[in-house]
Amino acid sequence: MSQAVLEIEDLQVEFPTKRGVIRAVNCVNLALDESEKLGLVGESGSGKSMTLLTLLRLTPHPGRITSGAIRYKGRNLLNLESREMRLLRGKELAMIFQDPMTTLNPVYKVGEQIQESLKVHNVFAGTSGAFWKRARRTAERRRIYELMAEVGIPSPVERFEAYPHEFSGGMQQRAVIAIALACNPNVLLADEPTTALDVTVQAQIMNLLDRINAERKTAVILVTHDLSLAAEFCDRIAVMYAGKVVELGRVDQITADPKHPYTIGLINALPRLRYGKGRPLEPIPGEVDLANLPPGCAFTDRCSRAMAQCRDNVPRKTVLGSGREVLCHLFSEDR
């Protein structure tokens, strides 16, 4: 039986705004198993990216973690000193951001930026002295070339010297992945890693992440608004809405038999190239407004199946078996 490498318990993140305090992450509970690929899916404002940033304690100002725990290898990351957290970030838990051009520093060579990750975490630290210094530099270079080759950057020796603007979008994202992999992390956090790329490059990058997961046994959390991408890549999917996980299950369960009306809405909104010619798209009406949510189920105003109790009563999590969970009054036992 696989063990959880990362556990999120009752995580809550709040932001003060002119319209009042909003909960961007609202009592999220999730576990990521070793080597697992977990997708966080939902539209903008669902809390998926905020959950990911908070895992690394990178919640943007003025956001505040108001409660919960993030357990990694038995330690609650929320209790670590900033210094301890800095050492862990990039080494054990690494992030791949959405836009490689804003992740890479335009004034440094690509190879140097991969090298920086190795240096920050002292991967090749050792005895001082000229001989060891040379040996370290050689080992470091070799490692960088290996990483570049592993992520599919051709001619690593020449490409080491290139600047980010000399790379295509796909190659830039490969360089970002090489930086993330430099210290052989246990968990990769990928925040919409292919949004800035065209569809063929997107497939290449997702195949690369898939290969890394299979070969290195690195667990991956993929944040995406694209349910079909998550269904292709992930083992399990957590559907998020207004800061909460509203449905959780294996990919086959979620795609073949979605339970929550929001998940059903997301699936119906997907364009179908082959079978849907002439079929109008079915958008979910309205949009999420975190500062103005109903007191009960946050999805009430947009839900075609809303009932009298939905507006005022917060639905509780119902476990449907086989690890399947749903947060909706339609499935609560006391209905």
In angstroms, give the least distance from the CB of 48 to ligand SF4: 18
Q: Which neighbouring-strand residues pair with 64?
A: 14
**Cβ-contact 41, 258 below 8 angstroms:** no
Distance CA(225)–CA(191), nearest Å, equals 10
In angstroms, give the least distance from the CB of 316 to ligand SF4: 10
Please give the angle made by the CA atoms of 286, 290 and 291, to the nearest 5 degrees.
110
183 or 314: CB nearest ligand SF4:
314
Q: Which neighbouring-strand residues pair with 220?
A: 37, 188
In the complex, the residues that contact ligand SF4 under the rule CB under 6 A are 260-261, 297, 299-300, 303, 305-307, 310, 315, 328-330
In angstroms, give the least distance from the CB of 261 to ligand SF4: 4
**Cβ-contact 278, 232 below 8 angstroms:** no
**Strands across the sheet containing 20-33:** 20-33, 4-17, 64-72, 75-76
- DSSP line for 279-311: PPP-PPSS---TTS--SS-TTGGG-TT--TTTT
75 or 305: CB nearest ligand SF4:
305
140 or 301: CB nearest ligand SF4:
301
In angstroms, give the least distance from the CB of 145 to ligand SF4: 52
Number of other CB atoms surrounding residue 219 within 10 Å: 24
Q: C-alpha dihedral over 287, 292, 298, 301, to 10 degrees? A: -60
In angstroms, give the least distance from the CB of 4 to ligand SF4: 28
Strand locations in 73-142, DSSP E? 75-76, 93-96
101 or 320: CB nearest ligand SF4:
320
34 or 43: CB nearest ligand SF4:
43
110 or 297: CB nearest ligand SF4:
297
In angstroms, give the least distance from the CB of 124 to ligand SF4: 53
167 or 299: CB nearest ligand SF4:
299
**Cβ-contact 294, 314 below 8 angstroms:** no
